[in-house]
Structure 1
């Protein structure tokens, strides 16, 4: 199972993106768990994830998360602002899978 964690400011603004990503994963036959949390919960949830994607409005948190991500052995990146704005589940899931594969 592929586990994709999204971090956003309050944990709610990415809910539609998560839904679109889940639908894309289902369409591909990909066994995936995709969830979003608020920034204060991201560090603890990284231990359960294969990748962390950060909402573009939180790009300033990337450095803070990098140490924890390195310690738990997962890649992380900021979600492309256009894909985020379009709520493009396909583009974001592609980015997550590419990060996992290149790990």
Structure 2
């Protein structure tokens, strides 16, 4: 079954670049996933998802996002170094690991 990963940041712009890197990594590994990026205000329009990953600049919103989506969807903040380096492979691996927990 295809997993859906949602990245959210203040406006959805910086995470869009990371989404492309994650899609490249998934394609290279033969993993079927749907990966989207959105701004914080559009989050509800992209649900359901198997995981929500927040840009580091949204770390302060982790608890409120978790309250909005409930306990069935994992919510995490993307590692700042991986985000800054646009390391799509590491972020994808983190997402897949948390989904299967």
Q: TM-score, normalised by structure 2?
A: 0.93
Match of 2:84 in 1: 85
Offset, 1:70: 2.0
Match of 2:64 in 1: 64
Q: Which runs of 5+ in 1 are unaligned?
A: none
Q: Which runs of 5+ in 2 are unaligned?
A: none
Aligned equivalents of 1:85, 1:57: Cα separation in 2:
11
- Which aligned segments of 4 or more residues in structure 1 are displaced greater than 6 angstroms? none
Query: What whole-Å deviation, never above 9, does each CA across 1:63-95 have from its counterpart, x for those lacking one?
Result: 111112325x11010000000000000110011
Question: Does 2:19 correspond to 1:18?
Answer: yes
Give the number of aligned pairs.
Answer: 100
